[in-house]
């Protein structure tokens, strides 16, 4: 490889060989970088005038992880595990000077070096678990030798990055500095030379002690937290190998586990989700459309949702003006926002809450929004109330300002008509808690201007959220589908299965909670009010969960009242068995059938997928991947399954359609097959084919 085409530069400063990684934009560990590093270490070993080597990254970071352009392709030599061992086997000391993120393979390269220096702000870690994998180049064997087992298990099972300060504390790095990584790394290398520092190979350090109880506890904990995901448990197996096997045998065991995971459906599901995250915001209609400037955001309503939206904006440097009806409401909003920001400080998401609070102002007069670039209403879910708010916003806000509604269900077109500027109106459906949940449904109304949509996506990016474009209908993408699979659960109750059996089966599928646990969390008053809102237009063939209405009338509102489908008090929630007589009354004398967990999961998922196909057919979602992303980030669908549309493709659309047609014999209105699903089966296609067509 010529020096001109080589992304690795080799030069010397006295006795220090400086190996610079220059593969913009992220110094990804593609084949050319791996080859270049190998050749640079060979050259260093042969360079009689070089006594120590410094590996440093050019640009904004040390080394990115795997090159995503190589995903799905056969691996090409030199393989990363061999490269890490080659660096470790260098005959003279090698120093890694790390700045920016050194994650995955980048972290493993650093572990292969003999000494590690990090610039403040650097991050280390192993995010492979988010792709259904474990470290595959010796990370699970070398890190425990430096840090001990506990920190290694935490890093590899969670995938969470470590700050440079934390890395120093646990022994992952040797020195923490401020300033330029090349200059600081060079100074450190010269200091090591002056000390005649040896080649201190990480793999030659003593293996950590094997604590069987620690590993048993870790497996129990992660089996519960991972909800069916395999990779965290395989990471535990790999780290345990570092305690019981010599280095090279441990690396071979790690590689065996890594390659085993490469072939699992979970890994494919998480890769599907990974690429969808990158595709979801790429909308052809927004190419070349510039977003409007956005620095000052108004929020109308200081309840849980409004305060959460305000917090999300403050955390990302925006100025916020919050409007409430009276001073008492403003006081409550300030307290909530202050609590949210203080919690962010405790979690390490924010260094100090004072600057964020300084950007917050509160008022009872809409005139305070005269200079705002965007206003987001988060008031009571009532059309008349929202129209009144938008009339006030229309009167005071400057030309070009964007008027957004956070409605979960209501018609954004109708809301827009309450203003003289419907082109500036858009839906921004945040999910609660708004400063934590990652999904933002961008609901584009009929007259929404393209630059308003572009601004909404720019806002989502600034807030660190994943935006999905949705059309206007009752519930948009997520809540429309949710209403349908929740209705399937209600039908299973009437047919003889208990709400607690359904919840248990759905948790076993991988969701964090079942539909009735979710109802308790949201509040059963929400479901009751939604049913009341839809009563006038409800199809007579639909069913009404009369037991849930009776629960509302009895004041059983879920967690906030202490009882709902479950009783809440000391310890874990327990089933509220007083609900059973209400269910029995609703069932009447119809025959009963208790479904097995697999049958519950099949019906629940079939309802989800069938309605999702209708959402696609109606143009509410543009692509199946938009639905997958929505369910992953807004509704807790297990990431390792990739999303409901990928799940359906894997299960097989013909079999799924056959089941739906079979259930339609008993309930033809609810189980009407989606025409799109029927067409895909007839044509031998999948939802994935629609993604490719859209791309």
CB 161 within 8 A of CB 106: no
DSSP 599-619: HHHHHHHHHHHHHHHHHHHTT
**Which residues, 6 or more positions from 532, have their beta carbon under 8 angstroms from its beta carbon?**
none
pLDDT at 368 over 70: yes
d(CA 641, CA 635): 13
Q: What pLDDT, on a 0 to 100 scale, did the predictor assign at position 5?
A: 65
CB 611 within 8 A of CB 645: no
Residue at token pair 């409430």: 324
Q: Which residues pair with 319 in a beta bridge?
A: 296
Q: What pLDDT, on a 0 to 100 scale, did the predictor assign at position 28?
A: 87
Q: 644 vs 111, 161, 627, CA distance in Å?
A: 38, 29, 8
Q: What pLDDT, on a 0 to 100 scale, did the predictor assign at position 2?
A: 45
Name the pLDDT band for 694 (thresholds 50, 70, 90).
low
Residues catalogued as catalytic: 408, 429, 441, 479
Backbone phi and psi for residue 567, each to the nearest 5 degrees, phi listed first: -100, 135
Token pair for 590 = 């119809």
For 585-607, what is the mean pLDDT?
A: 94
Q: What pLDDT, on a 0 to 100 scale, did the predictor assign at position 132?
A: 94
| DSSP annotation of 422 | G
Q: What is the 3-state secondary structure (H, E, C) of 11-63?
A: EEECCEEEEEECCCCCCCCCHHHHHHHHHHHHHHHHCCCCCEEEEEECCCCCC
Burial 121-150 (b: 16+ CB within 10 A, else e): ebbbbbbbbbbbbbbbbbbbbbbbbbbebe
For 71-87, what is the mean pLDDT?
A: 88
Cα–chain center distance at 214: 29
Token pair for 221 = 């904990």
Instruction: Select from 360, 344, 363 the least CA-distant residue to 301.
Output: 363
Residue at token pair 């906030």: 560
Name the pLDDT band for 251 (thresholds 50, 70, 90).
very high
Backbone phi and psi for residue 303, each to the nearest 5 degrees, phi listed first: -70, -165
Write the pLDDT tens digit of every residue in 218-238: 999 999 998 899 999 999 999
pLDDT at 562 over 90: yes
pLDDT at 404 over 90: yes
Contacts 24+ apart (CB under 8 A), 435-439: 435/308, 435/309, 435/311, 435/312, 435/315, 435/340, 435/344, 436/308, 437/633, 437/634, 438/464, 438/465, 438/466, 438/633, 439/465, 439/466, 439/468, 439/478, 439/629, 439/630, 439/633, 439/634
Cα–chain center distance at 502: 26
pLDDT at 21 over 80: yes
d(CA 442, CA 402): 13
Query: Which domains are present in the chain?
Result: 8-128+137-202 (3.90.226.10), 294-470 (3.40.50.720), 478-694 (1.10.1040.50)
Mean pLDDT of the chain, nearest integer: 95
Name the pLDDT band for 66 (thresholds 50, 70, 90).
confident
Instruction: Select from 399, 416, 395, 394 the least CA-distant residue to 407.
Output: 416
For 472-482, what is the mean pLDDT?
A: 95
Q: What pLDDT, on a 0 to 100 scale, did the predictor assign at position 590?
A: 82
The proportion of the chain whose per-residue pLDDT surpasses 70, expressed as a percent, equals: 98
- Alpha helix segments (H runs only) across 317-378: 327-346, 354-358
Q: What pLDDT, on a 0 to 100 scale, did the predictor assign at position 67?
A: 74
Write the pLDDT tens digit of every residue in 335-344: 999 999 999 9
In what helix (H) or strand (E) does residue 506 lie, and over which residues does it extend? helix 499-509
Q: What pLDDT, on a 0 to 100 scale, did the predictor assign at position 89?
A: 97
Name the pLDDT band for 4 (thresholds 50, 70, 90).
very low
pLDDT at 635 over 80: yes
pTM beyond 0.75: the answer is: yes
pLDDT at 525 over 60: yes
In what helix (H) or strand (E) does residue 404 lie, and over which residues does it extend? strand 402-405
Write the pLDDT tens digit of every residue in 137-154: 999 999 999 999 999 999
d(CA 207, CA 131): 28
d(CA 676, CA 695): 19
In what helix (H) or strand (E) does residue 428 lie, and over which residues does it extend? strand 425-430
Q: What pLDDT, on a 0 to 100 scale, did the predictor assign at position 148?
A: 96
Q: How many CB atoms lie within 10 A of CB 430?
A: 25
Instruction: Select from 605, 611, 616, 615 the least CA-distant residue to 659.
Output: 605
């Amino acid at each position: 490889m010529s020096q001109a085409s080589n992304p690795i530069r080799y030069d010397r400063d006295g006795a220090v060989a400086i190996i610079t990684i220059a593969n913009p934009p992220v110094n990804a560990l593609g084949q050319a970088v791996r080859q270049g590093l190998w050749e640079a270490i060979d050259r260093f070993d042969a360079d009689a005038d070089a006594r120590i080597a410094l590996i440093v990254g050019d640009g904004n970071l040390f080394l990115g992880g795997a090159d995503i352009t190589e995903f799905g392709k056969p691996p090409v030599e030199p393989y990363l595990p061999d490269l890490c061992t080659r660096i470790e086997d260098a005959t003279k000391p090698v120093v890694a000077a790390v700045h920016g993120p050194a994650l995955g393979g980048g972290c493993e390269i650093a572990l292969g070096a003999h000494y590690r220096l990090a610039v403040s702000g650097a991050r280390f870690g192993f995010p492979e678990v988010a792709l259904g994998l474990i470290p595959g180049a010796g990370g699970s064997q070398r890190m425990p030798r430096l840090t001990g087992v506990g920190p290694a298990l935490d890093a590899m099972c969670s995938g969470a990055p470590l700050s440079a300060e934390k890395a120093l504390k646990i022994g992952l790095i040797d020195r923490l500095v401020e300033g330029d990584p090349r200059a600081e790394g060079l100074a450190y290398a010269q200091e090591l030379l002056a000390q005649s520092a040896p080649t201190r190979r990480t793999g030659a350090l003593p293996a950590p002690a094997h604590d069987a109880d620690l590993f048993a506890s870790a497996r129990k904990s992660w089996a519960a937290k991972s909800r069916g995901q395999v990779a965290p448990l395989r990471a535990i197996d790999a780290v345990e190998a570092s305690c019981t096997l010599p280095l090279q045998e441990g690396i071979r065991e790690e590689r065996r586990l890594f390659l085993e995971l490469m072939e699992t459906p979970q890994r494919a599901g998480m890769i599907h989700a990974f690429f969808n995250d990158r595709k979801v915001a790429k909308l052809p209609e927004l190419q070349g459309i510039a977003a409007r400037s956005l620095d000052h955001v108004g929020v109308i309503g200081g309840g849980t949702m409004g305060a959460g939206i305000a917090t999300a904006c403050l955390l990302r440097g925006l100025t916020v003006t919050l409007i409430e009806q009276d001073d008492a409401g403003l006081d409550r909003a300030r307290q909530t926002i202050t609590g949210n920001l203080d919690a962010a400080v405790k979690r390490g998401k924010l260094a100090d809450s004072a600057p964020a609070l300084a950007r917050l102002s509160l008022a009872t007069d809409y005139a305070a929004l005269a200079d705002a670039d965007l206003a987001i209403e988060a008031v009571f879910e009532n059309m008349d109330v929202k129209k009144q708010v938008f009339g006030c916003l229309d009167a005071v806000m400057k030309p070009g300002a964007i008027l957004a509604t956070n409605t979960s269900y209501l018609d954004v077109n109708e809301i827009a008509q309450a203003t003289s500027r419907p082109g500036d109106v858009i839906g921004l459906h945040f999910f609660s808690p708004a400063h934590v949940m990652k999904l933002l449904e961008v609901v584009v109304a009929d007259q929404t201007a393209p630059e308003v949509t572009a601004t909404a996506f720019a806002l989502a990016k600034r807030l660190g959220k994943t935006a999905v474009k949705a059309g206007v209908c009752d519930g948009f993408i997520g809540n429309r589908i949710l209403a349908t699979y929740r209705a399937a659960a209600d039908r299973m109750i009437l047919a003889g299965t208990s709400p607690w059996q359904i919840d248990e089966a759905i948790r076993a599928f991988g969701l964090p909670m079942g539909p009735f646990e979710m109802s308790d969390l949201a509040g059963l008053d929400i479901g009751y009010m939604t049913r009341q809102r839809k009563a006038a237009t409800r199809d007579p063939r639909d069913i009404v969960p009369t037991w849930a209405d009776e629960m509302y009338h009895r004041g059983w509102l879920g967690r906030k009242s202490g009882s709902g489908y479950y009783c809440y008090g000391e310890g874990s929630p327990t089933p509220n068995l007083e609900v059973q007589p209400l269910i029995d009354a609703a069932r009447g004398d119809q025959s009963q059938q208790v479904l097995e967990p697999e049958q519950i999961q099949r019906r629940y998922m079939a309802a989800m997928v069938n309605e999702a196909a209708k959402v696609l057919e109606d143009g509410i979602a543009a692509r199946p991947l938009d639905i997958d992303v929505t369910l992953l980030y807004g509704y807790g669908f297990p990431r390792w399954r990739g999303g409901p549309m990928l799940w359906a493709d894997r299960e097989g659309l013909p079999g799924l359609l056959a089941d739906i047609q079979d259930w339609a014999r008993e309930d033809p209105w609810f189980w009407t097959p989606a025409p799109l699903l029927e067409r895909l089966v007839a044509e031998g296609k999948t939802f994935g084919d629609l993604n490719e067509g859209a791309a």
